[in-house]
Structures are given as structure tokens and as C-alpha cells.
Homo-oligomer: A and B are copies of this chain.
Amino acid sequence: MIQLRCSTCQQLYPADTRAFRCNCGGTFELVGLPAFDRRAIDPAGPGLWRYRQFLPGNRHWAEVTLGEGWTPLVLTDLLGQAVHCKMEFLSPTGSFKDRGTAVTVAMLKELGIDAVVEDSSGNAAASLAAYGARAGIRVRLYVPAHASPAKLRQIAVYGAELVPVDGPRSQAALAAWQAAATTYYASHYFNPFNLAGLRTLAFEIVEQLGWRSPDHLILPVGHGTLLLGAYQGFVELRQAGVIEHLPRFFAVQALACAPVFAAWSRALDQVAEITPGTTVAEGIAIAAPVRGAALLAVLRASGGMVVTVDEDEIRWGQAALARQGLYVEPTSAVVAAAVRKLDRVIAPGDLTVVVLTGSGLKSERV
């Protein structure tokens, strides 16, 4: 039986709780998911639903799916490094968020929930708006008023209710938390069903590499849900005996907003809120990640680290990827800049995977 467990005080909650975090303030994790088993994969299951045996909400996938998951893994050259690019920007709404959203919304169907709120800088909002439309669930979204017009347009077109909130990203979050008192809060960073969906990134990468684990996994980190979800997936693969080692996790942050780096570089166990600067990597401009301690633990356990990139490097990374035919948004381009910085960490012949999280068609200009 699936339950929610507080990662701080270990208290258990039922799967249909309306609480979005523990009374003690801790974040939820999911317990009771079936163990990974290669024999339980359904090769005929579309997209990430080939792994539906390990996913919550799987009785409702057909009413919810927009074709998410099983994105291509393309081997290309980046500065003389052979790098596998996980093409998450080809997801149904143009970002990796669709993995988590599809699973969350499938679970909402199972729980009989027909209206939700959420806050997002853009991609998560667009994703939830789309899946809400698909599944017949009303969605109200609190978004920063300064978010990319292309993203706001995309959200509006799906028919979600849009509430622009002035001020920094955190103000939109606060508005959603207040609304969550009376409505289900389908938060992409609090909700553990979202993390359960993001595990499939690990399953896919390993399966697409012929059941090998990468040596290095490089991905953008704001709240770090992608990193945490993927890590959980790799741990399950190792527990199942499918892989022998985990990849080293490299979390890439924009220098202008790098709370995880600030904690990492001082060898802290917790991530403190910072005063954010401005960055084109708006999707990871998160001043206070809600699972900071867990992020630091993953980086430490996997032998990875935090890499920061400045605005020029992000622009350079976006152009470098485009010159390989890969048009991603600045938030995603941070990984290309990180590859350049990691040239002494990545040895020739290493198996390196970068996650290209969001589409360049969403960004206003290069």
C-alpha cells in the first residue's frame, strides 16, 4: 500500500491526504511502491508507462497520457566530449516536468480530485495546465508576473486559470500555499507523486544505454526534483541488481542563484535561503529549495558536486547546443556550460549523460 512518509519525523500519512507537507514542516516521500523488476516492464506500454507496474495511479494512465516519456537519448559531440543527451525537451509540453505531472494527475484521478492549485515559474505550470485539460481537472496557477510571455501564453491556451503574482518567484509560492488550505496543492516540488514519475528518467537512461549506468549525470538544479527523482530511480535499479554502480550526480546552478552551491562549498548539511540575483535560467532560479538537505546528501553519496555557470557561460552553452541541432532554453543550456567546466573530471571514454530539460521554443530569444 502506498503511503506518504515525512522525511524529517517519519510520520506516515495516507495517500489521499490533503496535507502537502508534514505537520512538523518536513517534506513527504512515498513508501510502498513496488520494487523495480525488469520482467515487469511492458515494452508495448507507450512512453514511461512501460514502467507502469512501478508507478502510482497506473489504472488511469490511458485517460491522462499525452505521450510523455521514452524521450530519445542522442549521442553527440560537445567540445570533443562524447555526451549522451537525454531529450526531455521533446516531452508533450516541452519540458521534463511532464513525467512527474502525468503520474501526479493519474493519481489525482485515482483519488477523485477534480481541482488543484500550483505555483511555477513556467514549465511546471504549462505541464499541469495541459494534463489538467486532458484529464478534466481544473487547474489554478500562481505564476510570477515576470515569467516568459511564451510560457504564459502556453499556459493560458490549455485553459488553466492564471494568477500572476508580482515580486520574486517565492511570492507565487506563498500565494499557492495559502490557496492550498482549501484546495489540493499539486505542487511539482512538494508532491511526492511527482518524484515517483521522475524516477522513470533513470529507468529509461539505463535501459536506453543497454542496461548500463552512466558514469556521470549532469542536470540543472532549482528545487532539484529531477535530481532527487532520478536518484531514487537509480537506487532502485541497483537494489534490483540491474546496475552495479550509481552515476556521479552533477547539479548545475546559475551563479546568480546558487543556494545549493553556497551550502555545498561550505560543506553544510542544509541549504539556506539566499538572496537571488537575476538569471536567464529562470527555471532554476530557486532561492530556497525545499529538499536542500536531500540534494546535498545525494551529491555527497554519489561522489558528485555542484557546478555553477555564469550568464555568459549559459549563453555560450545554448549556442553550443544549437550548433549541434539542439535548441533548448537557457535553463537547460547550463549543462553544456558545465560539461566544459568538468573537462578534468570527465575522462575520455566515460559514459556521460546530460539532461536537456526544456525546449528553446519556449524562450524569448537567444
CA distance A118 to B351 in the complex (A): 37
Main secondary structure, interface of A, reads mixed
Residues of B with C-beta under 8 A to A318: 157
CA distance A132 to B322 in the complex (A): 11
CB-based contact A324/B133 at 8 Å: yes
CA distance A329 to B340 in the complex (A): 36
Shortest Cβ gap from A17 to chain B (Å): 27
Shortest Cβ gap from A100 to chain B (Å): 15
Residues of B with C-beta under 8 A to A150: 150, 361
CB-based contact B360/A359 at 8 Å: no
In chain A between 54 and 75, which residues have their CB closer than 8 angstroms to a CB of chain B?
62, 65-67, 71-75
Shortest Cβ gap from A102 to chain B (Å): 10
CB-based contact A153/B365 at 8 Å: yes
Report which of B93, B131, B133, B153 forms a contact with A366, defined as CB distance below 8 A.
Answer: B153
Question: Which candidate, A84-92, A215-223, A258-266, A282-290, is the interface stretch facing chain B?
Answer: A84-92
A325 interface contact, C-beta 8 A: yes
A159 interface contact, C-beta 8 A: yes
CB-based contact B325/A154 at 8 Å: no
CA distance A93 to B87 in the complex (A): 11
Residues of B with C-beta under 8 A to A365: 153
CA distance A319 to B92 in the complex (A): 16
Report which of B91, B157, B319 forms a contact with A319, defined as CB distance below 8 A.
Answer: B157
Can you list, as one digit per residue, whether each of A28-66 has a CB less than 8 Å from chain B (1) or not (0)? 000000000000000100110000000000000010011
Copy number of this protein in the oligomer? 2
A109 interface contact, C-beta 8 A: no
CA distance A356 to B248 in the complex (A): 39
Residues of B with C-beta under 8 A to A134: 76, 324-325
CB-based contact B158/A325 at 8 Å: yes
Given contacts A65-B74, A366-B153, contact A322 B361 (CB under 8 A): no
Report which of B47, B74, B157, B366 forms a contact with A327, defined as CB distance below 8 A.
Answer: B157
Can you list, as one digit per residue, whether each of A238-275 has a CB less than 8 Å from chain B (1) or not (0)? 00000000000000000000000000000000000000
A307 interface contact, C-beta 8 A: no
Residues of B with C-beta under 8 A to A132: 325
CB-based contact B361/A325 at 8 Å: no
List 16 A-B residue pairs with CB atoms under 8 Å apart, sorted by A's residue number: A46-B74, A62-B75, A65-B74, A67-B87, A67-B90, A92-B325, A130-B326, A130-B327, A133-B324, A133-B325, A153-B366, A157-B318, A157-B322, A157-B360, A158-B327, A361-B361
